[in-house]
Structure 1
Amino acid sequence: MCGICCVVSLSLCPPDSSLLKEGTTHNLRRRGPDSSQQLVKSVLRPPYHCLFSGHVLHLRGLLTPQPLEDPATGNVFLWNGEIFGGIHVEMEENDTQALFRHLCSCSSELDVLSVLSSVRGPWSFVFYQASRHYLWFGRDYFGRRSLLWQFNKEQGCVLVLSSVSAVSETDTQWQEVPAAGIFRLDLQVCAASEGLVLTLHPWRYSSNENVTEEANVGDRNLSLRDLSSHVSFKVNECPSLVVPVLPLNMALDVPEEPRFSDFADNEASIGILRSFLSEHRKKRLVHQFIDVLSRAVKKRVLCVVRDTDRSEGEMSKAALRRTHVAVLFSGGIDSVLLARLADRHVPLDEPIDLLNVAFASPNLVGQNHSTQKRCKEKRRLPSSECLNNADTETRDPLSCFNVPDRITGRAGLEELKALNPSRCWNFVEINVTLEELKATRRQQISHLVYPLDTVLDDSIGCAVWFAARGEGLVTNQGDARPYKSPTKVVLTGIGADEQLAGYSRHRVCFKKYGFEGLNKELQMELGRISSRNLGRDDRVIGDHGKEARFPFLDEAVVSFLNSLPVWEKADLTLPRGVGEKLLLRLAAVELGLMASSILPKRAMQFGSRIAKLESGTERASDKCVRLQSGAEEELPAKGSKPL
């Protein structure tokens, strides 16, 4: 993973280094701490200049500083991505070099688009094609890597592209580059007209797909009003990029299924799942899903540099073990299943870090909050939640961090340990106080969430930032010790709810509009995931010099799920904790994860207890004043109740 930045100036003079704010450069270096360098390419007639800045996090092959320049062609390349398929990369080869070779061999627009269409994995990039004076840039189909743009007319005609920004009140507004396709600038045309002319090559399904609608659904559509007045924009329909996944199956011929009660306790819920698995066809489907998801996880846990030349010396074997993979771990079904599959492929002598975050309200610190009430509210939580009585919690100074995700996380840990007791599972309890949250948001997190700005973005952005940092406590044989996860790779379960109808709004939609409405809702979910989630999460996790990897958004996984009719993935006529993400729950049972398989969906902001920690009146869609620079933050009103 990398922090990449490109400044394009159409003035007579080369771009001033002041165009790259010191804060932006600092934030780029945090993303890529292993190598940093810059390069300027200038053409005098007509005049244009490009400043390229690359900051590398070394993850595979030989360390390859960026930007890359080809002396023979003058081409320049910035790459923030991973090639997990589509283009062959040798085990010891760096994928940046492999892709740059392919791009340098391109002689036409179609060649460039064909190469990028073939890449399987997350990416954002900038490619300067010197012979044609073209600047290509964009994000992958799902937008799994962040790329922002800023148009600045005050300092001449300037375009800035960057993985991350630094926010100040005087900044021209940054926006996320839409994951609508690949953009191209003809720098000679721009220089001659003294204006920016953007050409979009959009994503399209291949001609052999029986699809009538465009691939650019939801927030992928680029609105011209979002561009500055001095930027021209056009769409080049041919050639275009080929969508890397199959279209969504919109079939509605729902078969008759056996009916179950609208309510089921834990035992009955597991019984429902087992009854499905007793059907040969369903069981075969579940195994197909496990296989495709397992392959996606395998690529993501093995494509990382491992130190194979370990000198034993006088150090113990345990001291020599180093963790390379972590999982954002709430104990929910998505994260437990990813950990279970990672266990298949991570070498057995390596620990796996399970990063579990909890936020404490000052109202609960030192108080005896009611375990009994929580048990009643969350009746499907594992019974371990009720093990600690109120007296124990009062004596435990950390009891204020026993939030729902901490409880399900510990229960999920016990399931994983039972299935593979030989593995060292580092359950990292990341405890965050309100004071630390407020200070860190102001100093570090707000600019990472930007340009998103809602209360929901604040809650999730802060929770993911602290989780990915990985600083907390690990308990071994009753002894809790401070621990900081050294991993560079962080697995996250995002994409499961969007494809398998995991959110409560999906039940509302299904109740109103049936399977047809649910299909349209899921189509919209995947169409807007780039702008709603992924850019933000990439910026937040990348700030720690770590790379977010999304197995549920692997192209093969998405294609498999898209090929299925919606009722094979979810059946919302079934009880909560069973019907949503049904296919995932069946896979969990098949892999031995019984308790985790029937946990109902609980959003991270609620499970970690960050939601409404500072205000009890906000809605998720409200603009968050705490993300604004210099905004005053207040403690919760006296007597207010945390979630």
Structure 2
Amino acid sequence: MCGIFCLLSLSSAHFEWDKTVHEHLKRRGPNLSRDLTVRGTNPSCRCFFSAHVLHMRGILTPQPFQDNTGNVLVWNGEIFGGVPVMPEENDTAVLSQRLSSCDSPSEILSLLSAVRGPWAFVYYQKAGDYLWFGRDFLGRRSLLWKFDAAVNALTLTSVAAQSSGPDRSAWQEVPAAGVYRIDLKAVTEAGSVTFEFHPWAHGGNDLASSCSETILESVPSGCTAVTNPSGLVLTSPVCPLNTSIPKSLNEKESLSNSHPCVKDLEQMLASKEKNDEVNQLIDVLSEAVRRRVQSLPFRAQDGPPPPNDNASVAILFSGGIDSMVLAALADRHIPAHQPIDLLNVAFKLQVPKKQKEPAKKPGKHKNQPTGFKTDGADYQTSSPFDVPDRITGKAGLKELQDLNPERRWNFVEIDVTKEELQTVRQERICHLVHPLATVLDDSIGCAVWFAARGTGSTMQDGDQRAFTSSAMVILTGIGADEQLAGYSRHRVRFTMSGHEGLVQELAMELARIPSRNLGRDDRVIGDHGKEARFPYLDEDVVSYLNSLPVWEKADLSLPRGVGEKLLLRLAAKQLGLGQSAVLPKRAMQFGSRIAKMEDHREKASDKCTRLLAE
């Protein structure tokens, strides 16, 4: 993974680095940094490249990567398939070599269509004087753009920084709707920037019309986007969503009680057809996890092995169904002598103000300790950090220890006070979340940043000791809820509009996940010099889930804890997990209790004033 940057200047104005942007980029890529300036055929047009490398595989390869013919590549991505990359090879070098052999735009688009894995890139193609850039189909890597009319310059970067004044909202995320090409000769002559847009398409169906609307909404002021005149497209790496609706709904037997239990899942697995679907999901998801936990920095055979005390892989871990399945599958593919870090974040519960003692209720003892509610049930807490995700996380740890008692599972308790949250938000997180700016972006961005930092404590030899995770790869469960109807809004939509409405909702979820979640999470996790990896958004996993009719993935006529993400819950049971398989969905901002730290009257979609840099 890398922090990549490109400034396309159409004037002779001097470029001044934004120190905050430069520092953010360096933190993303702590292993090697380099700058490079390339001039086009017209001397007044120049491209300044800067790249900061996090070494993940093969030989440490400098970026910007310039080949023998003068092409330049800055690449923030991982090739997990589609284009052969040997364990000892570096994917930046491999991709550069393949790009340099492309003789036409259609060949470049064909190569990018073949790549399996997350990516964002900028590529200067010397032949023809073109600048290409874009993000993968699912937008799993961040890329932002901004045009500065005062100096006639376009900037592309992995991460930006807030600024005050009229320029505050200039940055926008590059839509993950296709790949863009700039003809540097043409824009130099015109004195303005025009993007030629190549959209993603399913099976040859041109998506240019719908994608163009998305592009036009976010094109930087002062620039123009046009659909490429040749009608060239990229081929989508995932199959279209199955939008079939059941002709008739068979009335299902209601569960024995409203509190779901593991036996309910056991009954469903008695069906051979359901068993086959579950096993297929396990196979494809297991392979997705394998690719992500084994594509780690290559070490020569005669080199020293990594110390067994340090984990290479960590998981954002709440003890919920998504993270539990990832942990169980990672256990299959990581050698048993290596630990796995389970990163569990908690924000300090605020002590309620003392109020007048209400009239005693029957059966309520006046000395009963204060409890906190989660999912309608009271539980007692002995620590202000015993938030719901800490409770379920510890229960999940016990299940994993039962599953594989030989492995060391480092359950990292990451405790955050309000004072530390406020300080770090102003110094770092507000810039990383930018240009997103809602209350929800604040909550999730802050929670993920502290979790990914991995600084907390673990239980060792009966004592709680300070601990910082060494893992460079962080698995996150994002994508499961969006594809398997895990959110409460899915249940609402199903109640109102049935399967047809639910299908529409899921189609929208997948289409907007790049702009709502993935760019932000990549920027936040990458700030620690660590790489976010998303197994649920592996192309093969998405294709398999897209191929299934919606009622096979979720059955929202069943109660919470079973109906949503039903297929994944059955997979968890098949993997040997226990009560975690029937835990109801709990959003990170509520499970970690960060949402309780600030203004309780806010809505998730409100603009968050706390994210404004001072």
The 2-side partners of 1:61 and 1:257 are apart by 54
Equivalence map 1:183-582=2 (5 Å): 183-207=180-204, 214=207, 221-236=213-228, 238-253=231-246, 256-257=249-250, 259-261=252-254, 264-266=257-259, 268-305=260-297, 320-363=308-351, 374=373, 377-378=376-377, 393=382, 399-582=383-566
The 1-side partners of 2:396 and 2:596 are apart by 26
1:480–1:306 CA distance, 2 compared to 1 (3 A): farther
1:587–1:233 CA distance, 2 compared to 1 (3 A): same
3-state SS of 2:558 partner: coil
Contact 1:216 1:527 in 2 (8 A): no
3-state SS of 2:522 partner: helix
1:309–1:445 CA distance, 2 compared to 1 (3 A): farther
Contact 1:220 1:527 in 2 (8 A): no
1:108 is matched with 104
> How far 1:235 moved relative to its partner?
1.0
Contact 1:455 1:618 in 2 (8 A): yes
1:640 is matched with none
Contact 2:308 2:338 in 1 (8 A): no
Contact 1:79 1:124 in 2 (8 A): yes
2:128 is matched with 132
The 2-side partners of 1:419 and 1:216 are apart by 50
The 2-side partners of 1:216 and 1:292 are apart by 33
Residue identity matched to 2:465: R
- Bigger shift: residues 365-374 or 283-292: 365-374
RMSD: 2.2
The question of 1:166 aligning with 2:164 is answered: no
Q: Which runs of 5+ in 2 are unaligned?
A: 356-366
1:79 is matched with 75
1:383 is matched with none
The 2-side partners of 1:339 and 1:574 are apart by 26
1:382 is matched with none
Q: 1:48 aligns with which of 41, 45, 48?
A: 45
1:185–1:286 CA distance, 2 compared to 1 (3 A): same
The 2-side partners of 1:310 and 1:538 are apart by 31
Contact 2:289 2:535 in 1 (8 A): yes
Residue identity matched to 2:4: I
Q: 2:29 aligns with which of 29, 32, 36?
A: 32
2:363 is matched with none
The question of 1:142 aligning with 2:138 is answered: yes
1:291–1:167 CA distance, 2 compared to 1 (3 A): same
> How far 1:201 moved relative to its partner?
0.3
> How far 1:260 moved relative to its partner?
3.4
1:298–1:573 CA distance, 2 compared to 1 (3 A): same
2:85 is matched with 89
> How far 1:22 moved relative to its partner?
1.3
3-state SS of 1:515 partner: helix
> How far 1:322 moved relative to its partner?
2.2
Contact 1:220 1:528 in 2 (8 A): no
The 2-side partners of 1:215 and 1:573 are apart by 37
Contact 1:364 1:400 in 2 (8 A): no
Residue identity matched to 2:29: G
Q: TM-score, normalised by structure 2?
A: 0.94
Residue identity matched to 1:377: G
Contact 1:6 1:52 in 2 (8 A): yes
> How far 1:17 moved relative to its partner?
3.7
The 2-side partners of 1:335 and 1:527 are apart by 23
> How far 1:477 moved relative to its partner?
3.4
> How far 1:215 moved relative to its partner?
8.5
Q: Any idea what the Cα deviations from partners look like across 1:486-535, whole Å, max 9, x if unmatched?
A: 11100000000000000000000000100011001000000000000000
Q: 2:57 aligns with which of 34, 44, 60?
A: 60
Q: Any idea what the Cα deviations from partners look like across 1:172-217, whole Å, max 9, x if unmatched?
A: 611000001001100000000000011110011123xxx7x84987
1:198–1:263 CA distance, 2 compared to 1 (3 A): farther
> How far 1:364 moved relative to its partner?
6.0
3-state SS of 1:131 partner: coil
Q: Any idea what the Cα deviations from partners look like across 1:383-412, whole Å, max 9, x if unmatched?
A: xxx5xx66xx2xxxxx00000000000000
1:369–1:456 CA distance, 2 compared to 1 (3 A): farther
Contact 2:346 2:389 in 1 (8 A): yes
Contact 1:37 1:53 in 2 (8 A): yes
Q: Any idea what the Cα deviations from partners look like across 1:521-572, whole Å, max 9, x if unmatched?
A: 0000000000000000000000000000000000000000000000000000
The 1-side partners of 2:335 and 2:450 are apart by 27
Contact 1:356 1:467 in 2 (8 A): yes
- Bigger shift: residues 481-490 or 224-233: 224-233
The 2-side partners of 1:123 and 1:216 are apart by 24
3-state SS of 1:453 partner: coil
3-state SS of 2:483 partner: helix
The 1-side partners of 2:302 and 2:258 are apart by 52
Q: Any idea what the Cα deviations from partners look like across 1:336-366, whole Å, max 9, x if unmatched?
A: 1000000000111110000000001342699
Residue identity matched to 1:76: V
Q: 1:23 aligns with which of 20, 23, 26?
A: 20
